[in-house]
Amino acid sequence: MPGSGWFRQWFQVSALYAGTVIGAGFASGQEIMQFFIIFGKQGLWGVSLATLLFGISGFLVMSLTTAFRCSSYAELLPLLMGRKMARVVDWLGLAMLPGGLAVMLAGSGALLHEQLDLPADVGTLTAALITILVILGGLEGVLLANMILVPLKVLMISLVCLITVVHHGGWPEITGPGTPLTGAARHWLWSSVLYVSYNMVVPLAVLSSLGRSVDRRPGVVAGFTGGVALGTTAALVTLAGLFFYPQITSYQVPLLRIAGELGENWRYVLGILIWLAIITTAIADAHGFASRLAPGGGWNYRLAGTVTVLLTLPLAKLDFTRLVQILYPLFGYAGLVIMAGLLLTPFRLKWIFREWK
């Protein structure tokens, strides 16, 4: 990839970053509702802070991984939190990444069963096959898949939300700050921090594999702009959702309520959108795990990724909801440690950032 043009590298890294976060929970609107919409208009403050944190986090990760030419998160973690804590988070990552992959494969089976009445195994195996084919293409395959799929996801989500905002006109009318009866936190500020932290585990694993493949300047700029693109998309979902607040808080798929006013066909569009989100997250999980086991890339990476997907298939037969309940809190705890390490890095390793002043 070092021979690629500046714009191509920037676009590839930005899409890869966004693709790891815009998963099924994001695309369904459920994540955005739990962390932002439930706070009413204050949720807009929360999503604004999350946008800034995503941008800063991406900037810091890519600054470190390109400066130290990392090829896996095992090489980056000691820089953030010391060797002892890095070992703990590394072991968590070795459990969480294939676990997250199992969640995505199970989610694909559940979605295609609900949308098309296909057997769940068909959806699970389809997602597994696509993931394996992308991994067999190496890093270029992962980047290419995200270059194609991520803009489609962002475009579809943005289009649904923008049409809703234009249709309703102006700003949503909400009296009071909003009363979060459910969700990750009781205050929009803490909820915003939690959202970014638990969403940084997989991006860290994926972006830290690029240190030897991406030139520094386009990589670092992409880390920031990819985070801003993420936050902006989340802000659009939040704004559109607030037009239906508080009724929307009772929906399992809030974006379906938002798209409902646009016509029945948008239900199928939304199903495609969520499935694409599942696929890109599955690819990110498999890539992050394979690059940890085989940081040098090549056929060792391809073999590690393929075997990981195949060994994960039995896990995908477990209850989808139960998998989420077990694994996602682990992402949150590990993410808080990672976020703290990232935000303290500029004070500990000042020399890395001097050229960006």
What is residue 58's predicted lDDT score, i.e. its pLDDT? Answer: 95
Between 54 and 317, where is the model more confident? 54
Distance CA 114, CA 323 (A): 18
Q: What is the mean pLDDT of residues 317-332?
A: 63
Q: What is the mean pLDDT of residues 35-59?
A: 93
Residue pLDDT, tens place only, 81-100: 888 888 888 887 777 788 88
What is residue 233's predicted lDDT score, i.e. its pLDDT? Answer: 94
Q: What is the mean pLDDT of residues 51-56?
A: 96
Q: What is the mean pLDDT of residues 172-180?
A: 60
Q: Which two tokens mark 93?
A: 């990552």
Between 4 and 295, where is the model more confident? 295
Between 35 and 352, where is the model more confident? 35
pLDDT band, very low/low/confident/very high, at 44 (cuts 50, 70, 90): very high
What is residue 324's predicted lDDT score, i.e. its pLDDT? Answer: 56
What is residue 186's predicted lDDT score, i.e. its pLDDT? Answer: 72
Task: Please check the confidence at residue 3 and state whether its pLDDT lies above 60.
Answer: no
Closest CA relative to residue 282, chosen from 303, 305, 298: 305
Residue 195, Cβ density class (10 Å: 0-12 exposed, 13-18 middle, ≥19 buried) = buried
Distance CA 28, CA 22 (A): 10
Residue pLDDT, tens place only, 202-256: 899 899 999 888 999 999 999 999 999 999 999 999 999 998 887 887 777 788 7
Write down how long the chain is.
357
Distance CA 134, CA 210 (A): 17
2-6, 138-142, 288-292, 297-301: least confidently modelled range: 2-6
Report the share of the chain in percent with pLDDT over 70: 88
Task: Please check the confidence at residue 181 and state whether its pLDDT lies above 50.
Answer: no
Task: Please check the confidence at residue 184 and state whether its pLDDT lies above 60.
Answer: no
CATH number at residue 324: 1.10.4160.10
What is residue 354's predicted lDDT score, i.e. its pLDDT? Answer: 60
Q: Which two tokens mark 13?
A: 């890294």
This prediction's pTM: 0.85
CB 123 within 8 A of CB 110: yes
Assigned domain for 224 exists = yes
Assigned domain for 284 exists = yes
Assigned domain for 14 exists = no
Task: Please check the confidence at residue 347 and state whether its pLDDT lies above 50.
Answer: yes
Between 249 and 60, where is the model more confident? 60
Place of tokens 């989340």: 234
Distance CA 22, CA 104 (A): 12
Assigned domain for 204 exists = yes
Assigned domain for 36 exists = yes
Assigned domain for 76 exists = yes
Q: CA Rg, the chain, in Å?
A: 19
Q: What is the residue range of 275's domain?
A: 27-347
Number of domains in the chain: 1
Assigned domain for 7 exists = no
Distance CA 318, CA 344 (A): 39
Average pLDDT, the chain: 84
Buried b (16+ CB within 10 A) or exposed e, 47-81: bbbbbebbbbbbbbbbbbbbbbebbbbbbbbbbbb
246 prior amide bond cis, ω within 30:
yes
DSSP assignments along 161-206, one per residue = HHHHHHHH-S-----SS---SSSS-SSHHHHHHHHHHHTSHHHHHH
| Amino acid, single-letter form, for residue 193 | V
Task: Please check the confidence at residue 351 and state whether its pLDDT lies above 80.
Answer: no
Assigned domain for 20 exists = no
Residue 129, Cβ density class (10 Å: 0-12 exposed, 13-18 middle, ≥19 buried) = exposed
Task: Please check the confidence at residue 2 and state whether its pLDDT lies above 90.
Answer: no
pLDDT band, very low/low/confident/very high, at 178 (cuts 50, 70, 90): low
Between 168 and 286, where is the model more confident? 286
Residue pLDDT, tens place only, 242-287: 988 878 877 777 887 787 777 777 777 888 888 888 899 999 999 9
What is residue 202's predicted lDDT score, i.e. its pLDDT? Answer: 85
